Structure formats: structure tokens, C-alpha cells
A and B are shown apart, each in its own frame.
Chain A
Amino acid sequence: MPAVSPDSLITRTQDLLSTQVDGETVLMDVASGKYFGLARTAQAIWSELETPLTFGALCSRLQARYKGDAAAIAADTQRFLLELSDRQLVTLS
């Protein structure tokens, strides 16, 4: 698994359509016809990424929000970001 460093910049992919359905965020990649539902924590992370953010900054915001164990938050967030990246919903640089 490629590591995400604290300085990695996370940027949402352009041209995704997004809509709110029953409190979930639905992302649509219209060109490929793929769509994704984000709920709870996933949705919170996505909303933090409205403007590009480094992994370190994202983790500290989530830490402030959820008051959890910092290492666990970083590990979960990294896993989720790699998933988003696999699906071409964000770029990591």
C-alpha cells in the first residue's frame, strides 16, 4: 500500500457532480456513469476537501472533530483516501 505522507496534497477530482440524497452525498462521474454514496465519516472527509488540503491538515481537523486516537484516525483516513484515489475521485500529490 503506498503511504500517504503528511505533506501529500489531496485534491478533489474536477467535473464530479454531487447531490445530497437523504443526508448522503452522492458523487457522480458522469463520463463513466459511475456513482458513489458517501455517508457519515466519509461524507465529513469529503466536505473537508472542498479546497485542497494536505493529509496532515486533514487528519488534525478530523482529530479535532472526532477526538479519537490520532494514529487510528490517520490509518482509517489514509485507507479511505486511497480508496477515493483508486476510484479517481481525488488525486494525491
Chain B
Amino acid sequence: MAAPGQNAPAAGLQPTPAEQHHGHAFGIAFRSHRPMPELGEPRADDTAAAAVDIDWQPPRAQVPLPGGGICHFDGQCFALSVPAICDFEVTPRRIAVHPAPQADAADIRAFLLGSAMGALLHLRGTLVFHGSAVVRPDGTAALFCGHSTAGKSTLAATLSQHGHAALADDLSALAQLPEGRPLVLPGLARTKLWRDALDRLGWAGQAGPGTRVQPGMDKHCLPVTTATQPAPLSSFYELQVDEDSQSPLTISPILGVDKITVMLRHVYRSNYLQAMGRQNQLLAAVAALAPHVQMHRITRPRSGDTLPAIVDWLHAHWTEGSA
């Protein structure tokens, strides 16, 4: 038996034991020495043994990655370097956060909860899409994918105001059940919305300088009550914007092999999977998903208020055949 204190650092070098904050997202228990309000509440069955540590390190000069790129995988650790913001080292059990000198805290958080979280999920073999999810009236999940500014978060927030619980924002992770049915795991308990969306939702009062996603940006990160149970994925919507303001709102089904093409397009940071050498698993995972999911493409003109029409269509679509 080791003598007491044998493994402890010398007196004076020992860091003050910081308070541990616990959270849960994507089916994973997290521990962090800094508060992580964007994560959901810890679960009763979360164990320290299975937890992923968010390991906040002191600021340091950024370290160039081998090959000079923004990400690098050495077979164990996925390194990510975001210029002037943060370096991350991600393994399946730990995200080490190395802020760049003078980096803004909101910027670091945005990349920690986006890119670094996505890398963690990829490393753990979880399929993750760039999209937001809500719970439909029948208890299944609807996933809204699209490029930035396509309106994923705004639509999900609007639906949550109509009583469809938010399930995931921006990153939606899927667990594959043995029988092939995919489950959307509860994600981050937050939403990121631009000023116009906040005004429309009547949430402008919740936004202030402290909620800005990035210092100069009128886009805000707000806490959102998020469902705590996974929901089977039944619908996948691709949101597209047509720059021609004369274009009508169109909603059309996506069928067959096109489903796979569309899903692959919206896998979160699929270049990370290439760096990890896991793109083969990706195709098989997406193909296994395709038969279980109804898919539609929603194309709206950039200008004009099509949100109510989209919400009405979704309501009708979700209730048809269920009466």
C-alpha cells in the first residue's frame, strides 16, 4: 500500500482543487472545472468512471499542427487549432482546452461546444449532423439540417414555442439501436439566434452584451429547456435558401439514394472524419439510417416571411395519418 501523500505533488505546487461542474449532453457525462451551463443537467446514472473531462488549461501560445492544417489526428488524439482563439486536444475521454493569449471567452466556448464537441462525438463513433432537433407530437424526433443561416435554430426555436420540445441545437447526435432505428440524443441546452429571430420570438429581453456568441456579433446564445430523453428519428428536413426573393416556398420529398447524398452533406464537420480515417464507417452508418427516416427539402426565399407557412406545413404533416 502506498504511503499517504506519496503521489501528491510537492507542497506549494499542488493546484487548489477546483470545484467540479457536472453536465450531460449527447448521452455523455461531462466534468469541467468551469461552469458549463450549455450542457444539460447531470443524470442519475452518470458515473465519474465514464465521464469526459473538459480540461481547461492556462492560455498559451498556439502550437502549429503537423502538416500545417487546422486539424490533425495521430491515431489517438485529434488536435484542432483555431487561430487566435484556442487549441483543442480531443480524445474519447477528454477535451483539453488551451486558449490562445487574449482570446475571447465566448469565442472559446463557441468552438469548444461546436468543433471540439463534434470531434469528440466523431471519435466516439457517434453519428452527428449539423442541425437542430425537436420532439414531434408523436414523441419522435424531427431534425432540421442546413448550412449556416439556413434557419435551423430559428425554426427549432419557433417550434419549441409551439410546444415541440427542443432536443438539440446545431449539433444533433444519433445513437443507433441494434434493430437499426436511430435515436436523437438530447444535445446542448441552448440556442443561438440572430437579433431578428429574437425579436420575432419575443426573446429580445433575454439577450444582452453577455449573451453574444462573438463579441462583435448580434447573435446570441440563450438557455433553452431541452428534452431529457432521446427520441427516435422519424423526419429529416434539409433547409435551403433561394437567393431569388421571387421564388416560392417549396417542400418536396427526398427519396432513395438521394437521401444518402443529402445526409452526407449535413454530417457535422465530415472533414474531421476524413482526418480520422473513418469516412468508410460514415457511409455505412448513413445508409443504415436512410430506410428509417422520411426526408424533405424545404426551400424558402431569402426574403419574405415564410416561417409561419413552414410551421403550418409541419403541423399538418406531423398530424396526418395519426388521427
A44 at the interface (CB under 8 A from B): no
Number of interface residues of B (CB under 8 A): 14
Residue of B nearest to A32 (CB): B280
A26 adjacent to B290 (CB under 8 Å): yes
B283 near A30: Cβ-Cβ < 8 Å: yes
Q: Do residues B284 and A24 form an inter-chain contact, with CB atoms below 8 A?
A: no
Contact with A along B213-257 (1 / 0, CB 8 A): 000000000000000000000000000000000000000000111
Q: Identify the closest chain A residue to B258 (Cβ).
A: A37
**In the complex with contacts A19-B291, A20-B291, A21-B290, A26-B280 CB distance below 8 A:** no
**Are B256 and A24 within 8 A (Cβ)?**
yes
Judging by beta carbons under 8 Å apart, are B255 and A17 in contact? no
A21 and B257 CA atoms in complex are apart in Å by 7
**Contacts A26-B260, A35-B257, A37-B256: A21 and B280 contacting too (C-beta < 8 A)?**
no
Q: With both chains docked as a complex, state the minimum distance between the C-beta of A23 and any C-beta of chain B, in angstroms.
A: 7
Q: Is the CB of A30 within 8 A of B290?
A: no
Query: How would residues 116 to 149 of chain B score, 1 for a CB under 8 Å from any chain A CB and 0 otherwise?
Result: 0000000000000000000000000000000000
Asked if A36 is at the interface of the complex by the 8 Å CB criterion, the answer is yes
Interface range on chain A: under 10, 10 to 19, 20 to 34, or 35 or more?
Answer: 10 to 19
CB pair A35–B259 under 8 Å, yes or no, is: no
- With a CB–CB cut-off of 8 A, which chain B residues contact A30? 280, 283-284
Residues of B within 8 A of A17 (CB): 284, 287
Judge whether A64 is part of the interface by a CB distance below 8 angstroms: no
Q: Which residue of A lies closest to B261 (CB)?
A: A35
- Judged by a CB distance under 8 angstroms, whether A22 is at the interface is yes
Tell me whether B288 is interfacial, beta carbon within 8 Å: yes
B214: shortest Cβ distance to chain A, in Å?
Answer: 34
Interface of A is mostly: strand
Cβ-defined contact, B283 with A24, below 8 A? no
Q: How far is the CB of A59 from chain B (nearest CB, A)?
A: 26
Instruction: Report the nearest B residue to A30, measured CB to CB.
Output: B280
Q: Which residues of A contact B279 (CB under 8 A)?
A: 33
A11 to chain B, nearest CB (A): 23
Cβ of B152 to closest chain A Cβ, rounded Å: 24
Which residues of chain A (1-56) have a CB below 8 Å from chain B?
17, 19-24, 26, 28, 30-31, 33, 35-37, 39
Across-interface contacts of B284 in A (CB, < 8 A): 17, 28, 30
Q: Closest B residue to A29 by CB, please name it.
A: B283
Is B256 a contact partner of A39 (Cβ separation < 8 A)?
yes
B280 with A24: CB separation less than 8 A = no
Contacts of B288 in A (CB 8 A): 19
| A contact set with B: CB distance below 8 Å | 17, 19-24, 26, 28, 30-31, 33, 35-37, 39
9 contacts between A and B (CB under 8 A): A21-B255, A21-B290, A24-B255, A26-B257, A26-B290, A30-B280, A30-B284, A35-B283, A37-B256
